[in-house]
Amino acid sequence: MNRHRTTSALVLSGLLAFSSAWAADAPAKKAGGDIAEACAQDVKNLCPDVKPGDGRIAACFKENRRKLSTGCKDAIKEQRGNKKAGEK
């Protein structure tokens, strides 16, 4: 059970780091919430050995952008749109 919690925490922290690459000025909860939820399975499937932090998850997603799930792609696009519109 502890391993599952550790893995979940690492996935979430990686997604939060990933989302900050798309929306550095948005509040952490809003910036990471939708993306973390929408992309959790993509991280597990496409980036299982990637250590979160320093943009590594974002880089993995960029390398695998064609393999990302529709929900994850949509969440990323929405976050980018919010950033461009100046929403916080």
Question: H/E/C letters for each residue in the chain?
Answer: CHHHHHHHHHHHHHHHHHHHHHCCCCCHHHHHHHHHHHHHHHHHHHCCCCCCCCCHHHHHHHHCHHHCCHHHHHHHHHHHHHHHHCCC
Q: What is the pLDDT of residue 65?
A: 95
Q: Does residue 67 or residue 35 have the better pLDDT?
A: 67
Query: Is pLDDT at 82 greater than 70 in this prediction?
Result: yes
**pLDDT tens digits along 23-56:** 443 333 444 578 899 999 999 999 999 999 999 9
Q: Does residue 32 or residue 68 have the better pLDDT?
A: 68
